[in-house]
Structure 1
């Protein structure tokens, strides 16, 4: 757990000052907020690959179309850009956006105290696939092959482009990696080692090999919905059938609040604490009693000096798989044993909007939660018409909800029996 109670900077909270997004149908923080708050799904027909329906009945994905990095990286030398993969350019663009959204100018942070921490589950698999198949004979025609083939290149090249000389690294730990990248950033800032951290994720898993991996786990993991791709992902619903693959990059700018306020930066939210746990249990499922996750939430809240009774919203992992849905609902019931379903705090999932993005998912959740705290509006779980009887509680299914809340918790789960929790709060002047 990222318990900051023993670190000298704990009295100076960490805040989110910038958000950068390059996602399907989304090239700015305002578009991101409009899509998640209004429930506008960016999942559409799968076009990236074809496969026999009997062996790979996957028809929906959240794909990026028409991306042009020059809109975000106008000063990137074209000769350099030609050596970079699409994944690298998308991640660099999201980082440039986050820094600009934070109003973080070239002289605002000493380069040695500016860090970059990224997360990616599979790294440059989309580049390696045609190379390994022998379908890209020009793959090694220039020195850029070294950049394109390394999982850490998006972080390293983003750091070079933005002039960050602090900690630069990439976490790879399936779907909890995004949260854990934020945890590393919190420790950097709380210890005083960095004054700002650009923390993000990038994932490009829309490949037949990845689809086959999840189909091999059985029905109900990867959605085969074809009639309406925007309804392919239905978390907590009785008719759920799994998730759709999604791609892109999101980057947050994190700073200590004193640094942000000193330069009159706009603050979206505070990040209070992070807790991560390996159950050391089953490699592909999580504890289904809900008690382990509930205990981890309590740990994270106690580290922040808060309690479950203070939580006004949970941003769910929400994969639309049976085990994940049950684990989250049972965790809420374990946290609030004296409350009935109607008394549980609201929970919602953004995966019906952007699909499952694995190593990026925790960053998307943190960005969404920060904006909900900032706007005091809860984003809905769309596509939910008939809740699973075990998930029959408040999913904000009616649409965006204006409210007043101070504390939110983001949940993340991953293969390897990994669970992660992020506690976030409003940042009032």
Structure 2
């Protein structure tokens, strides 16, 4: 349920540092300025994917191996699965950008929140093959030590020298935004001084991709089977599906302080009744929930610079977005202009970190006072009850206190929505 009292709806906190290892064509994106340039220009970093046992032909890939940058012994790197290495690099950069050492974080009250859709399935596949070849003695304790969510979180703490409690959250594509909500609330309530929130995903293997490329009886297919990266088109009349992506993003959150880097957030997690594990649920109550969030935060469409939405590039999700916005408009009785944007065609669909990517995209737009265009968008979908930005970033034309709404939707009907504004 949405809170109706405005006192306490907005939480103030500081973004102390951000780190990332995101897809790129020739090299990964590791820098906030590079990320901002990609988002605001609407560039796509999706590239061809050559897997003989998968129908998926494009993806957001981290093209280079970066283990030499981890500053860890070779024996430790060999024991650390790819998901752990990606998360490690993102957290190191976030801590460096925050100007905080592991000792400083550990000496205070802090928490590490690690989110993913599937954590380390690549490692599980390798261990299953090892089990088939060598039996139990060939696997030993490797499964528990390298492939489970708790092991990856503990491995991060050990490798980074963090002496803090951990949470591991798994779920659908809203899981990292849920992790952000948890960390932001803990900081705002004074439960911790710092929350490190990191989302990670390594889905570019046949088991994950086989389901995303499967076409259901209704004609739905999550991932595009086109070999052309520009065919991944959120908000477009022509849609072939999303591009699955690997990578990691991390935030270091702390209390608001004097100076820059402070934000206010209003947050809502809800459920809109998915009828199965992948069902999207009912868009009507979700639209009502969004309307309730805006009302409780005292935000109107005139205050809302844009909606950084959950469209991925497949028609089922696009239609769900359309129905959600229709319900939002009906609930608010407001037919004012609403601008929308999606970054799914910039880096691809990164399930375990897409919510954090959306938060950073919203902050980039607030800082630049421009709405990012949707990458690869050619012809806007006629059914959209909102205005997608095409081609070039659009200047804010709203109130003196613009706000960005960002949302993530999971299969099964779980949703998390966040209102962002700078202080």
Same fold, judged at TM 0.5 (above): yes
Which residue, 21, 30, 33 being the options, matches 1:30? 33
Aligned residue in 2 for 1:82: 78
CA contact (8 A) 1:2 1:274 kept: no
Does 2:280 align with 1:286?
yes
**Match in the other structure for 2:263:** 270
Matches within 5 A, 1:241-390: 241-258=240-257, 261=258, 266-267=260-261, 270-283=263-276, 284-287=278-281, 290-337=283-330, 343-390=336-383
Indicate how the Cα distance of structure 1 residues 108 and 413 shifts in structure 2: closer, same or farther if over 3 A, else same: same
* Separation (CA, whole Å) in 2 of partners of 1:365 and 1:36: 10
Match of 1:17 in 2: 16
Q: Which residue is equivalent to 1:103?
A: 99
Question: Aligned equivalents of 2:169 and 2:6: distance in 1?
Answer: 24
Partner of 1:223: 224
User: Cα–Cα, structure 1 residues 67 and 400, in superposed 2: closer, same or farther, change >3 Å?
Assistant: farther
Cα distance change of structure 1 residues 154 and 32 upon mapping to structure 2, 3 Å threshold: farther
Q: Cα deviation per residue 1:302-329 (whole Å; 9 max; x = unaligned)?
A: 4434344421111111111222112223
Check the 8 A contact 1:243/1:356 in 2, yes or no.
yes
2:109 matched to which residue of 1? 113
Gaps of 5+ in 1: none
Moved more, 351-360 or 275-284: 275-284
Structure 2 portions without partners, runs of 5+: none
CA positional deviation for 1:120: 0.3
Report if the CA contact (8 A) 1:113-1:165 is conserved. Answer: no
Q: 1:331 and 1:141 mapped to 2: Cα distance?
A: 47
Residue 313 of structure 1 contacts residue 347 of structure 1 at CA under 8 Å; is this kept in 2?
A: yes
SS in 2 for 1:246: coil
Q: Distance in 2 between matches of 1:23 and 1:245?
A: 12
How far apart, CA to CA, are the structure 1 residues paired with 2:108 and 2:132? 39
Change (3 A) 1:129 1:34: same
Whole-angstrom distance in 2 between the partners of 1:204 and 1:251: 15
**Structure 1 range deviating more: 366-375 or 192-201:** 366-375
Answering whether residue 134 of structure 2 is matched by residue 132 of structure 1, we say no
Per-residue deviation, residues 283-308 of structure 1 (Å, max 9, x unmatched): 233356x4322222233334434344
Change (3 A) 1:331 1:309: farther
Q: Deviations over 1:153-187 (max 9, x none)?
A: 33322233444444411110111101111121122
Are 1:189 and 1:195, in contact at CA under 8 Å, matched by a contact in 2? yes
For residues 58 and 422 of structure 1, what CA distance do their matches in structure 2 show?
32
With normalisation by structure 2, the TM-score equals 0.87
1:93 and 2:94 aligned: no
Q: How much does 1:335 deviate? A: 2.7
1:164–1:190 Cα change, 3 Å: farther
Q: 1:373 deviation in Å? A: 1.4
Asked if the contact 1:12/1:257 (under 8 Å) is kept, the reply is: no
TM-score, structure 1 normalization: 0.86
| Structure 1 pair 132–271 and aligned structure 2 pair: CA distance change class (3 A) | farther
Partners in 2 of 1:208 and 1:421 — Cα distance?
31
Q: Which residue of 2 aligns with 1:417?
A: 413
How far apart, in 2, do the equivalents of 1:114 and 1:2 lie?
A: 28
1:169 match:
167
